[in-house]
């Protein structure tokens, strides 16, 4: 059986001025039956259009903070390092992939990026900007395959059909979060402190974002493994909603 080829957006090393990759992203895709390919960065729309056409699906990874200009704000001191070249590349790629109905899984930064590029906004640092009713651990130390807190999964969402649970434990390594949710997205999971932890695009076969890092949990956690399996299966069957 032909395996789907999945484009993986690269991370960027500022000091070395080079792209790099966390192997867990690639391993999780391979384990689920896909072939991951790390993409290069580009701002050439024609090149990115060809990428969007030729791959079966796309994984948008974690990494740099998103530059606030993408959601109409100035950069505050609490915002971390950004990579505007990567923002430009991923914006074009996301739009081209969406046009072609390609499956998209977005993780951490990728999840936040998806909300921003679709018209939502972010807390540049939710710990200093958001008033939360309780304090949860959102910046855990290693090991990253351990759960830091739980999230409630909304029923009748793609995520619920994938993980088949009302609540799951997740890891957490982030300081930015969804502030205003895009009107093109719907929430799929929320933490007890109110932080939105997963979203999806209604009426799309698979456009799903999660705030946590399932790539570090899939070997031990069934919900994380099912997420990658469902993504890869959708990439293989481009015109089927496998979560129904």
- Catalytic pick from 67, 108, 197, 229? 108
- Catalytic pick from 90, 197, 215, 229? 215
What gap in Å lies between CA 44 and CA 139, rounded to an integer? 35
Give the single-character DSSP code of 76.
Answer: P
HEC string of 166-208 equals CEEEECCECCCEEEECCCCCEEEEEECCCCEEEEECCCCCCEE
Does residue 108 carry a catalytic annotation? Answer: yes
Give the single-character DSSP code of 105.
Answer: E
Q: Give how far Cα 51 sits from Cα of 71, 89, 105, 115, 243, Å.
A: 25, 11, 16, 22, 26
What gap in Å lies between CA 90 and CA 23, rounded to an integer? 20
Does residue 213 carry a catalytic annotation? Answer: yes
Dihedral through CA 67, CA 69, CA 70, CA 76, nearest 10?
Answer: 50
Residue with tokens 């990874």: 61
- Catalytic pick from 67, 138, 149, 213? 213
Write out the E strands in 65-116: 104-107
Active site amino acids: 108, 213, 215
């Amino acid at each position: 059986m032909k395996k789907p080829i999945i484009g993986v957006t690269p991370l960027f090393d500022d000091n070395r001025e080079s792209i790099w990759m966390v192997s867990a992203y690639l391993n999780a895709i391979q384990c689920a039956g896909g072939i991951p390919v790390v993409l290069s960065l580009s701002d050439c729309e024609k090149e990115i259009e060809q990428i969007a056409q030729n791959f079966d699906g796309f994984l948008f990874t974690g990494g740099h903070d998103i530059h606030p200009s993408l959601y109409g704000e100035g950069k505050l001191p609490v915002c971390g390092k950004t990579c505007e070249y990567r923002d430009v590349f991923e914006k074009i790629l996301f739009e081209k992939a969406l046009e072609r109905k390609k499956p998209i899984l977005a993780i951490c930064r990728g999840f936040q990026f998806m909300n921003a590029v679709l018209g939502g906004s972010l807390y540049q640092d939710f710990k200093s900007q958001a008033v939360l009713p309780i304090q949860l651990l959102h910046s855990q130390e290693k090991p990253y395959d351990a759960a830091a807190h739980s999230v409630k999964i909304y029923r009748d969402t793609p995520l619920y059909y994938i993980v088949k649970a009302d609540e799951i434990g997740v890891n957490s390594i982030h300081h930015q979060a969804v502030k205003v949710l895009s009107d093109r997205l719907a929430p799929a999971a929320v933490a007890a402190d109110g932080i939105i932890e997963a979203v999806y695009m209604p009426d799309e076969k698979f456009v799903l974002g999660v705030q946590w890092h399932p790539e570090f949990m899939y070997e031990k956690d069934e919900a994380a493994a099912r997420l990658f399996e469902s993504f890869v299966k959708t990439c293989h069957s481009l015109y089927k909603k496998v979560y129904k």
